[in-house]
Amino acid sequence: MSYVIAIDGPGGAGKSTIARLVAAKLGITYVDTGAMYRAAAVFLNRRKIDKDDDKSIEKAVSDMDITFSNERVLLNGEDVSKKIRENDVSKMASEYSANPAVRDKLTALQRQMGKTVSLVMDGRDIGSNVFKDAKYKFYLTASPEIRAERRYKELKERGEDIEFNKILEDIKTRDERDMNRKLNPLKMADGAVLVDSTDINIDGVVEEILSNIEER
């Protein structure tokens, strides 16, 4: 029987690193739904559609296809894996993700992916909406300061020139938006296990998650 492990939490909590490691340990597929919202933002932004222009967004998303190939993110066949990690795209993704047509489209794609195979899926609304009946649910978080510090290091390594305080501010604004939007806001799903990674390293978090999984 296939099963789903849902990992939700705010930006920069380490969800994708942890989810990828958990999936590799279990030999199952990893799906990064944040990458899908990021790719959708790139798509809509290229068409210069305003984040509040619901009509145009609804029309445009019918031409949008987002798939994964060996962990590369493909937007209508184009590899946008690098592009979606740019700092500006974080803000755009958080803004466009409040739109109902964007959410409907991506939720449907995500549910389709979990139909036949076991998955680790990370995002904001996986345990609370996309896979409400997921066998396992986790809520992974860390303090805003620690998340900003991790993000700062990551962007520096990638050669992006950005100030720490700007990142911290962006993280707080994004938390606020992701937690307070009308549709499927970020919240801890019923039955989710809370994991706070502020004072635990990556291996420790992976261990904590795996200790809850029967199939390990």
Q: Which of the ranges 23-31, 60-68, 91-99, 197-205 carries the binding residues for ligand DC, by CB under 6 A?
A: 91-99
CA distance to 42, 45, 49, 115, 202, per residue, from 125 (Å): 21, 23, 24, 17, 22
CA distance 183 to 128: 11
Least distance between ligand DC and beta carbon 95 (Å): 8
DSSP state string for 98-149: T-HHHHHHHHHHHHHHTTTS-EEEEESSIIIIITTT-SEEEEEE--HHHHHH
CA distance 158 to 153: 9
Q: 165 phi and psi, to 5 degrees?
A: -65, -30
Among 113, 178, 189, 195, binds ligand DC (CB under 6 A): 178
Contact flags string 37-66 toward ligand DC, x per CB under 6 A: xx----------------------------
Least distance between ligand DC and beta carbon 154 (Å): 12
Among 3, 5, 6, 11, binds ligand DC (CB under 6 A): 11
Among 19, 44, 49, 124, binds ligand DC (CB under 6 A): 124
34 lies in the binding site for ligand DC (CB under 6 A): yes
125 lies in the binding site for ligand DC (CB under 6 A): yes
CA distance 199 to 118: 30
Positions in the binding site for ligand DC (CB under 6 A): 11, 33-34, 37-38, 90, 93-94, 97, 123-126, 174, 178
